[in-house]
Amino acid sequence: MQTIRQRPKKDERSGPERTCVGCGSRDDAPSMVRLVVADDEVVFDLAGGGFGRGAHVHPRPECIAGAPRGLSRAMKREVKIGTKELGERLLAACDRRLAGLLLAARRTKALAIGADAALEAIRRGAPLAIVAVDAATVAQTLEVTGAIAEGRAVAWKTKAELGQLLGETAVALCAIRHAGIAGELQGLRMAADAAAVTTREGVECSRRPEAR
């Protein structure tokens, strides 16, 4: 499981370093996302272990924008992909990975589903709340506003979409109890936001949702 996280301080780094094909700077691999070029296709390998020649890029708009040219230099041949298409592919990859992690959390009983269960989990210190983008009422609860203020909440999908994913009619709120899964979900939300900027479509929902 690859975890995308914020860049650590110099004395806190561990593990391999990679060069970002967007900005050209070196950084620790977990703070970037991995791309794979195979059969002239560019795909994001967010789960790790994908086959093909790999490269890394910071999940930041400016790095994603510079990645197509950097990929061609890294691969020593022309890689035909534009910034907008690359952003769209990262958005889609993040969406698939977010869904997969949420289902993994449910399978391991690390997911509290529904307002009552999720609010109780948040009160007990769950590291992350997932708030549906159209869940105006639950977003105004004391628990959720507190989680937002502490950086422990992300907005993703509508109530109907979350419900369909989790086998419910509608889900306005769920909470992740597993710290590792919560950390990766937050990193993926940040990467998706950066990708959305490069598509010039704007960011539908912020990493830290505001109560409405």
Three state DSSP letters for 67-112: HHHHHHHHHCCCCCCCHHHHHHHHHHHHHHHHHHHHHHHHHCCCEE
What distance, in Å, lies between the first and last C-alpha atoms of the chain? 34
Find how far residue 9's CA is from the centre of its chain.
21
Q: Does residue 207 surpass a pLDDT of 70?
A: no
Structural element, H or E, at residue 182: helix 179-198
Answer whether 128's CB lies under 8 Å from 146's CB.
no
Q: Which residues contact 205 (CB under 8 A, 6 or more apart)?
A: 133, 155, 156
Q: What is the pLDDT of residue 15?
A: 65
The pLDDT confidence band at residue 84, using thresholds 50, 70 and 90, is: very high
> Nearest Cα to 26, choosing from 56, 48, 51?
56
Whole-prediction pTM value? 0.83
Query: pLDDT higher for 148 or 5?
Result: 148
The pLDDT confidence band at residue 16, using thresholds 50, 70 and 90, is: confident
pLDDT in tens, 137-160: 999 999 999 999 999 999 999 999
Joined together, the tokens standing for residue 21 give 């094909």
Q: Does residue 201 surpass a pLDDT of 70?
A: no
The pLDDT confidence band at residue 14, using thresholds 50, 70 and 90, is: low
In the three-class reduction of DSSP (H, G, I as helix; E, B as strand; rest coil), residue 151 is classed as coil
Quote the DSSP letter at residue 12. G
Q: What is the pLDDT of residue 30?
A: 87
> Nearest Cα to 74, choosing from 56, 88, 50, 87?
56
Ramachandran assignment for 114, one of left (phi > 0), alpha (psi -120 to 50 degrees), beta (any other): left
